[in-house]
């Protein structure tokens, strides 16, 4: 069935409806790029935003979040590269498995929740978008974002928990989107992470892009590590495997690197230390929001489950600190904005906050290696 974007019968909706009904794409293929949307007319982001706002007219307005300027008098000869990291909450898990006891089921309806997700993406206009828990890739994100000018890649989990939920929409996985007018794809690698030499259910995508404006190469990766307490060593092994893969892809940090992910790990965990101490010379961008530049935010996810309240820092944007500067980062939602029932809610579509950073290339990256 075609998912309506709202009550309006706009040209955008009718074009979208036609797309979705005529493009039966196998949901379980772990493909690089879907060609079936390439021939469709581009969408004006303003039109799509208006469509979303029509659907959301009965919901409270979006929260206001401001960017924090982190530039240290660094001159840049190019437009910054905006990167957005977000675990958007798989629809099947939100409705079927995650037990957000304070969140009304009405707030989780896909027809409206997808518009909240799109509204957030359209508000920040990322050049590169890294998502986890995507289970509506083929019927929502790929058809729409490709028409907004993004090149789209999806890699599902081999055994997604979404498949255990009745009326699921296929497996969830990681997805990456970049604006084709800003970057050229040089190389793309789908990585199934291993732990203790065993293939695991967690995945990553790593893409080497060429910045059209500067001609500079850089690598962008997205991942989602194993969840739950008790799996710390497993996450650590997955992190080591990912770092090894990225060392090979970046030729040992010759190519600058940005890694986005839901690591399911607090900063106290071993996997966090592995990334901090890696030979790739990585720093965590959101530490720069703290007064001393050394502390992660107090939370990136906040929810209430039957077992109680869960408030954790699990999501990160890592970057090559010798080659890249963080110009600004999007501030987090305050406790007051989140509200006593926590996330997700009628105001916010996921249990994880989106992270957004603006990066620029360092003029003399080799000096700091």
pLDDT tens, position by position, 76-125: 778 999 999 999 999 999 988 778 889 999 999 999 999 999 999 999 99
Is residue 269 situated within a structural domain?
A: yes
At 4, is the pLDDT very low, low, confident or very high (cuts 50, 70, 90)?
very low
Is residue 66 situated within a structural domain?
A: no
| CA–CA distance, 137 with 185 (Å, rounded to integer) | 20
Cα angle value 24/25/31 (rounded, 5°): 170
The secondary structure of 9-71 as a DSSP string is --HHHHHHHHHHHH----TT---S--GGGTTSPP--HHHHHHHHHHHTTTSPPPPP--EEE--
Is residue 72 situated within a structural domain?
A: no
The secondary structure of 118-142 as a DSSP string is HHHHHHH--SEEEEEEE--IIIIIH
41: number of Cβ within 10 Å: 10
| CA–CA distance, 17 with 10 (Å, rounded to integer) | 11
CA torsion angle 86 88 90 94 (round to 10)? 130
Q: What is the SS3 assignment for 350?
A: coil
- According to DSSP, the residues that pair with 320 across neighbouring strands are 282
* CATH code, 218: 3.60.10.10
276: number of Cβ within 10 Å: 13
Does the pLDDT of residue 29 top 70, yes or no?
no
Does the pLDDT of residue 70 top 60, yes or no?
yes
Domain span at residue 151 reads 93-364
| CA–CA distance, 13 with 3 (Å, rounded to integer) | 10
Q: What mean pLDDT, rounded, does the chain reach? A: 89
Is residue 112 situated within a structural domain?
A: yes
Q: Which one, of 71, 46, 25, 45, lies nearest residue 358 by Cα?
A: 71
The edge-to-edge listing of strands for the beta sheet with 173-179 is 67-69, 324-330, 355-361, 81-87, 128-134, 173-179, 150-156
Give me the helix-helix angle, 110-124 and 45-55, nearest 10°: 140
- According to the model, what pLDDT value does residue 39 have? 65
Is residue 351 situated within a structural domain?
A: yes
Is residue 78 situated within a structural domain?
A: no
Is residue 26 situated within a structural domain?
A: no
DSSP conformational letter for 270: H
Does the pLDDT of residue 5 top 70, yes or no?
no
Is residue 7 situated within a structural domain?
A: no
> Greater confidence, 277 or 77?
277
**Token code pair at residue 343:** 């996330």
pLDDT tens, position by position, 157-213: 999 999 999 989 999 999 999 999 999 999 999 999 999 899 999 999 999 999 999
Number of domains in the chain: 1
Q: Which of 7-21, 303-317, 326-340 has the lowest mean pLDDT?
A: 7-21
- According to the model, what pLDDT value does residue 97 have? 74
**Token code pair at residue 13:** 């909706």
Helix%, strand%, coil% for the chain, nearest 5? 30, 30, 45
Q: Which of 75-79, 239-243, 358-362 has the lowest mean pLDDT?
A: 75-79
């Amino acid at each position: 069935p075609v998912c309506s974007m709202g009550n309006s019968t706009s040209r955008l909706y009718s074009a979208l409806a036609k797309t979705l009904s005529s493009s039966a794409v196998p949901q379980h293929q772990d493909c690089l790029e879907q060609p079936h949307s390439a021939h469709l007319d581009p969408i004006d982001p303003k039109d799509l935003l208006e469509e979303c706002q029509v659907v959301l007219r009965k919901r409270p307005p979006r929260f206001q979040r401001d960017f924090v300027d982190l530039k240290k008098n660094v001159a840049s000869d190019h437009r910054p590269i905006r990167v957005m990291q977000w675990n958007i909450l798989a629809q099947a898990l939100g409705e079927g498995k995650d037990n957000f006891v304070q969140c009304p089921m009405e707030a989780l309806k896909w027809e409206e929740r997808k518009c909240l997700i799109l509204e957030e993406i359209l508000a920040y206009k990322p050049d590169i978008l890294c998502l986890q828990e995507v289970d509506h890739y083929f019927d929502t994100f790929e058809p729409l974002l490709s028409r907004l000018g993004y090149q789209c890649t999806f890699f599902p989990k081999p055994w997604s928990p979404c498949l255990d939920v009745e009326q699921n929409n296929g497996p969830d996985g990681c997805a990456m989107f970049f604006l084709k007018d800003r970057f050229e794809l040089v190389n793309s690698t789908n990585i199934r992470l291993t732990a203790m030499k065993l293939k695991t259910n967690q995945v990553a995508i790593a893409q080497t892009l060429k910045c059209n404006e500067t001609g500079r190469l850089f690598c962008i990766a997205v991942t989602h590590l194993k969840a739950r307490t008790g799996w710390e060593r497993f996450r650590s092994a997955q992190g080591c495997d990912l770092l090894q893969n990225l060392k090979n892809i970046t030729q040992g940090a010759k190519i600058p690197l940005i890694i986005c992910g839901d690591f399911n790990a607090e900063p106290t965990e071993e996997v966090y230390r592995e990334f901090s101490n890696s030979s790739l010379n990585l720093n965590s961008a959101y530490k720069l929001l703290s007064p001393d530049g050394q502390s992660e935010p107090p939370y990136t996810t906040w929810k209430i489950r039957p077992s109680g309240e869960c408030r954790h820092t699990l999501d990160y944007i890592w970057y090559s600190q010798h080659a890249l500067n963080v110009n600004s980062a999007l501030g987090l939602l305050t406790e007051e904005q989140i509200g006593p029932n926590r996330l997700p809610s009628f105001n916010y579509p996921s249990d994880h906050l989106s992270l957004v950073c603006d990066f620029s290339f360092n003029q003399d990256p080799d000096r700091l290696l």
